[in-house]
Structure 1
Amino acid sequence: MDLAGPHTSTLPSPKSKKALGLKYHPRPAALDSRAAANPRPLRHFALAFAFASAPSLSPSGSAMAGAAVLNERIISSMSQKHVAAHPWHDLEIGPGAPEFFNCVVEIPRGSKVKYELDKASGLIKVDRVLYSSVVYPHNYGFIPRTLCEDSDPMDVLILMQEQVVPGCFLRARAIGLMPMIDQGEKDDKIIAVCADDPEFRHYTDITDLPPHRLQEIRRFFEDYKKNENKEVAVNEFLPAKDAINAIKYSMDLYGSYIIESLRK
């Protein structure tokens, strides 16, 4: 997916149901009566976990047959009127999107531990400790209710004065896009600043940043997988307008799955 250029409406083909989180089971017939009796929770869970019923699409983009499915845990939680929030699906992206948006921090600045979202539980898990003697130069996470062609939410690097704890969310502003190829696949990163940090909130474009800071960011992503014998290539940074377009595209892609799943 070329996030910097023209986009098509072709949906990605998920690698597996597991890749999008949760173990799914056939939709019970009794669900319709529950929906009539309690429509608001049903709509909430349908939107929050719509990937449960999203069918895989062929490479040509044509829809494949697939029955609607729903997680048993969701149904149980509906009857008990409580469920743990999932940061990818339940947290709103925010009214200022795509320029301003909420984002969830997975990895704090200065960490050598690569934390990441566990899609099934919504918790932040330890993926690995970095093999190289480098640490994350800034807080790193994802934008909720977005989707990229690798079946993951959009990645974001957030510049701010302080490190923050994994799992928290904050309001950020997109200032640039870092096009990246990770082992032959596109893995672009949004460069953003914390919208509520007085030192960084005035930045509006990546050209406002000192060249050395951009070089630090580039060098980290070029080097952090070298000792794993994994190749990463970073291209030239792109301005804020390209980042905003990329976020908008990932929002539309996520929304397309929601709409498609609710039709089933």
Structure 2
Amino acid sequence: MAFGFEEKGSKFADSYRIFLTKDGEYVSPFHDIPLFASGSGAGAVGEPLVLNMVVEVGRYTNAKMEISKELKLNPIKQDVKKGKMRFIANVFPNKGYPWNYGAFPQTWEDPKNVDQHTGFQGDNDPLDVCEISDIIPPAGTVIQVKVLGILAMIDEGETDWKVIAINMSDPNISEYSNIQDVERMKPGLLKRTVEWFKYYKVPDGKPVNKFAFNEEFKDQQFAAQIVKHTHESWKALIAKESDNAGISLANATIQLSSEKISQDAAKDTLGQQSALSGSTPLPSTIDTYFYVPNGI
């Protein structure tokens, strides 16, 4: 199974889109990319959980790129807030995102489901992933990752799980079996991860984010249960057993889906996009740092 991507529009502008391909055909990264990597299981006790991850944001970059839930074929695009392209602030000492960031395909945090662990409803997005390898793939890349653990964040009253995982191509992959190995191999990264998620919206005037479990990371087996639950929620979504909550269900490969589209229809969708052109200039504040005041 070979994955690729095609860019449209001008980078850092509202026209920019990244469309994904699988074996040369246009597909939805939300619906058509398999969750479980080839030959991997569902995380039985003692076995690694290896999943496909869609990379949305490369480490040390600031543009808030994400899978579009509403657009047909769910391309990756930059978020827009109040008519402006969204860039994540540099919260000292971080420059942009401190890891590669993305999502697991075929998962969904149902906004009508009250999470039993957090007491809050889902955020209506695919399950988020923080990938900690030193390898930095471009946005739109599909990589295989080993799940290590998970953090339960509460973002503006919604459950927003953050899975910690590592690229299977990392040269030290054999050293990572569970969340405890992250602290052993990369001391301080987990603490910095909590701090980053706690404060990253503060420069925009938003409140400090909260966490369940006293800000503690849960292990791989706990993470596997969250993956399983969100995968089942996605199955209900694509089968229209749940309200689609404004999500485009257009897909190219799911045989029983009433929203399956042909490659001709997929190509028509891409044909309506602007051709790839040069990047729009970055904002002048892209290298400015925000310092978290004492007492926040």
TM-score normalised by structure 2 residue count: 0.57
Structure 1 residues 175 and 83, CA gap change in structure 2 (3 angstroms) = closer
Compute the RMSD of aligned alpha carbons: 2.1
Alignment partner, residue 184 of structure 1:
157
Flag the 1:183–1:169 CA change in 2: closer, same or farther, 3 A. Answer: same
Tell me which residue corresponds to 1:230: 206
1:131-171 deviation per Cα after TM superposition (whole angstroms, max 9, x unaligned): 34441111010001111122211111111122110010100
**Which whole-Å CA distance do the structure 2 matches of 1:263 and 1:100 have between them?**
26
Q: Provide the secondary structure at the position in 2 that maps to 1:144.
A: coil
The one-letter code of the counterpart of 2:216 is E
Give the count of matched residue pairs.
Answer: 183
Equivalent residue for 1:102, pick from 40, 43, 52:
52
Distance 2:240 2:67 in 1: 24
Q: Give the Å deviation of 1:215.
A: 1.0
Q: Determine whether 1:84 maps to 2:42.
A: no
Task: Give how far 1:230 is off.
Answer: 1.9
Q: Percent identity?
A: 30
Match of 1:248? 228
Task: Measure, in 2, the Cα distance between the counterparts of 1:263 and 1:170.
Answer: 25
2:136 is aligned with 1:163? yes
Q: CA deviation at 1:83?
A: 6.6
SS in 1 for 2:203: helix
Partner of 1:11: none
Compared CA separation, residues 258 and 112, structure 1 to 2 (3 A): closer
Provide the residue aligned with 1:124 in structure 2: 76
Amino acid at match of 2:234: Y
Q: Is the 8 A contact 2:175 2:181 kept in 1?
A: no
Distance in 2 between the 1:131 and 1:140 partners? 15
- CA displacement at 1:228 relative to structure 2: 1.5
C-alpha contact (below 8 Å) 1:105/1:169 kept by paired residues: yes
Q: Distance in 1 between matches of 2:227 and 2:195?
A: 24
For the residues of structure 2 that align with 1:201 and 1:161, how far apart are their CA atoms?
15
Q: Which whole-Å CA distance do the structure 2 matches of 1:165 and 1:190 have between them?
A: 19
For structure 1, which runs of at least 5 residues remain unmatched after alignment? 1-81
Q: How far is 1:257 from its partner?
A: 2.7
Which sits farther off after the overlay, 151-160 or 193-202?
Answer: 193-202
For 1:218 and 1:97, locate their aligned partners in 2 and report how far apart those are by CA, in whole Å.
29
**Does residue 1:220 correspond to 2:196, yes or no?**
yes
Deviating beyond 4 angstroms after TM superposition, the runs of 4 or more aligned structure 1 residues are 260-264
- Write out aligned runs for 1:22-171 (5 A): 84-94=26-36, 95=38, 96-98=40-42, 99-119=49-69, 120-121=71-72, 122-127=74-79, 128-133=86-91, 134=94, 135-149=96-110, 150-171=123-144
* Offset of residue 130 of structure 1: 1.4
Question: Which residue of the partner structure matches residue 77 of structure 1?
Answer: none
What's the TM-score, normalizing by structure 1? 0.64
Letter of the structure 1 residue corresponding to residue 67 of structure 2: L
Q: One-letter code of the match for 2:31?
A: H
Distance 1:263 1:140, change over 3 A: closer
Cα gap change, 1:201/1:137 in structure 2, threshold over 3 Å: closer, same or farther? Answer: farther
Measure the CA separation in 2 of the matches of 1:118 and 1:175. 26
* Structure 2: distance between partners of 1:180 and 1:201: 28
Distance 1:263 1:200, change over 3 A: closer
Q: Provide Cα deviations, 1:188-226, integer angstroms capped at 9, x if missing partner.
A: 111111112122343111111224111111111111111
Q: Residues 143 and 153 of structure 1 are in contact (CA less than 8 Å); yes or no, is this contact kept in structure 2?
A: yes
